[in-house]
Homo-oligomer: A and B are copies of this chain.
């Protein structure tokens, strides 16, 4: 008998009908001979509604109380789903984060799961019971409710898979699986059958919103096979597995894009040792994440231009910090642009197939798409381009790398 974790996202439990449907999926997976554990998100819309309520009281609503507030969403979906499973004649019960308990560390609203206690739930499993566990929440050392950041129910599911040593984790969501690219901007997007953890990690970090990167990381670290599939279809979805289990015929597995970036350029900076550190240190201290960085040697060899990207929401804060820091790092001009998008190609096959970079740049050049910044890792290449040509870029790359 295999022990599996089934996780339902917010859209999969977004109404009473959907909750009853989810209960039937649980029943089916148990009838197929599995020992089933369930993790559930809040009904879709609930968390936003709760956050909006808190914002009407304060834009800086007390974080620990925000956690108490938000975690009520999973309490509702969790008890309703447990009740719906019991209604099917099965043995089930709900567990909140504090009941298991799921112990967390770190700040409220962005905690990390340290440990999941297993005794009580394992007893329940051994009696044929189906535990229904609230995702997204845990408790701190001080016995206060904590949450692990938006979308964190995926991470809850994987941490439960880890501590309960399950054979796999199934993520039920409102799409059929992971696609080679966003089907909304390219109708030729195809469902990927198998993808490696590493590729999925890049995919989810770079704009494919099906799974949270931290959840993929947990799966990868603990080598837990993940099956991302639709709650509303019986088709198999996408399996996320270790690299040796993927068919690595294709060089590129998927293409993502995101429109969250802003580019900042400091023109004619004095090029002396430590200048980059002088620029980025105050940004880091203000929790601003710098993503891509390029340094050009300008014609005058004593000066250089430095370009980097930050999240769009951090742009104005970033500009202010750099202006305030001009006594330390002087520049001739500070320019910025946030009408940009980052398009990335991802594939573990790149490592053994040289020439991918060249092929990518040539394809974009043929479409007269101008590349502003480039950043690469072993299994991905990202380029920053004009926002208006995002779709065009995704389509040509999808075709170039034989994903159509």
Contacts and interface: CB of A to CB of B under 8 A. Distances in A.
Contacts of A94: 65, 68
Interface in A17-34: 19-20
Interface magnitude class on chain A: 35 or more
Interface stretch (A77-85, A168-176, A186-194, A294-302): A77-85
A57 interface: yes
A266 interface: no
Interface stretch (A48-56, A110-118, A395-403): A48-56
A25 to B, nearest CB: 15
A20 B19 CA distance: 34
A340 to B, nearest CB: 37
Contacts of A80: 53-54, 57, 65, 69
B58 A87 contact: yes
Given A50-B76, A66-B83, A71-B75, 18 more contacts: A16-B57, A20-B57, A53-B76, A57-B84, A57-B87, A58-B84, A58-B87, A61-B83, A61-B87, A65-B94, A68-B78, A68-B79, A68-B82, A68-B94, A69-B75, A72-B75, A72-B76, A72-B79
Nearest to A143: B99
- Number of identical protomers: 2
Interface string A74-104: 0110111011101100000110101100000
Interface string A35-73: 000000000000000100110111001101110110110
Nearest to A56: B16
10 contacts: A53-B80, A54-B83, A57-B80, A58-B83, A58-B87, A68-B82, A68-B94, A72-B75, A75-B75, A98-B98
Contact of A93 (B56, B65, B78): B65
A93 B64 contact: yes
A75 B57 CA distance: 16
A98 B72 CA distance: 14
Nearest to A61: B83
Contacts of A69: 75-76, 79-80, 83
Contacts of A16: 53, 56-57
A84 B56 CA distance: 10
